Each structure stands twice: as C-alpha cells, then as structure tokens.
Amino acid sequence: MVDMSSYAAFLVAALVLCVTPGPDMMFIVAMGGRGGPRTRVLAAFGVACAMFVHTVAAALGLSALFLALPTLYHALRWAGAAYLLYLAVKAFRDRGVPVEEGAAAGPGRRRAFWQGAVTNLLNPKVILFNVAFLPQFVDPGLGHVREQFLVFGLTITVMGFGVDGSIGLLSGKLSSLLRRSRRVARGLNIFSGTVFTALAVRLSTQG
C-alpha cells in the first residue's frame, strides 16, 4: 500500500517532528503541572485522538476547506485561542490546595482527555500541517490514496502519543511530588496558566 523507502523517510521526519518541542508538548507539560501522571497521559491520548481525526479529515479532503475558506480557518483559530484562555483562567484561579500522597490533583482524567482533544481539534494549524506534510509521502501511483493517508497519519499519531505520553508521565510524577506544598502547588498552577496564555496568544497572532 505504501512505498517502503518513502515510509522509512517518513519515520525519520515524523520522529524529528514529534521530539521537537511544540504547542502540543507545551500543553502536556502545562497539564502535567496540574495533576498526576495518569491524568497527563490521558491528556496526551486526547491530543493523539484529535490528531487522528485531523488525519481522517485530510484523507477525505475536508481539510482543504480551510485553504478555500479563510474565514472558517480564522474562526476555528479564534475558538482555539479562546478555549486556551479559558483553561488559563481556571489554572490561575486554582488556589493550589496541597495533595496528599496517592491523591490526584487538577482536572479529572476524563476531563483531561477532552481538554487535550478539544485543544488540538480547535487548532487549524494542525489541519494545515496534515494537508502540507502527509501528501509529500503519498504516492498516487500506488493507488489507495486515502489508505496511504491513514497509514502515515496513524503512524505519526502513535509516535506523537509515545513522546507526549512519556512527557506527561514524567511531568505528572514530578508535579505529584511538588504539590504536597501549597506554595509550590500554587506556583505550578500559575505556570500552567502562563503556558496556556502563551499558547493562546501564539495561536491568535500567527494567522
């Protein structure tokens, strides 16, 4: 279904992209400051699921709408920025109650999953990334173009989850230890809110 030489080149490029710090990684780190390791891994899983949704949309040609309709692109961009600001406000308002050993902190696990998914789904730059990046490795001469899209998309989704999930696990374990102090817990919430705000500004200003 896919050319193996192209797939090998894709693996190298995808790995470089996944380990390079970006908005998704910063989001997971910020979320890691607000809860335990399992919660952070679920946030990373939410990001990964949204990434695959973007891949399916690109394979079906739906993502091309954002190239033809700039207004739709900007509307989604502003919605994503607003959601990140909402998360920032929640983090800043969190009083940083100390967490006893073995207890969870921050948003619940199901909520963390949906926050990761919604944040990624409302980022039109991820949509355009799929439109620009994945087709470089798809060979129309082999046929099954949509299936090739899905193979490459699923691959980078799994790789991204492996990297982001590991970061979420480590940052979650660290925050669980630090949150036993009210002052440190409050500082972690301020850090998380600052990161969410920076991501919102970045998304809203880079049109």
- Domain of 190 in residue numbering reads as 29-205
Q: Is 32 exposed, middle or buried (0-12, 13-18, 19+ CB in 10 A)?
A: buried
Q: What is the pTM of this model?
A: 0.74
The pLDDT tens digits for 14-59 are 888 888 777 777 788 777 555 667 777 888 999 999 999 988 888 8
Share of the chain above pLDDT 90, in %: 11
Q: Which of 118, 117, 122 is nearest to 47 (CA)?
A: 117
Q: Give the Cα-Cα-Cα angle 176, 182, 185 (nearest 5 degrees).
A: 45
Domain membership flag for residue 115:
yes
Within a domain: 19: no
Binning pLDDT at 50, 70 and 90, where does residue 173 land? Answer: confident
Q: What is the Cα–Cα distance from 92 to 87, expressed in whole angstroms?
A: 9
Total structural domains within the chain: 1
Q: Is 95 helix (H, G, I), strand (E, B) or coil?
A: coil
Residue in the block written with tokens 């033809």: 68
Q: Is residue 24 assigned to a domain?
A: no
Q: Name the one residue in this structure whose structure tokens are 């390791």.
A: 37
In a domain, 177, yes or no: yes
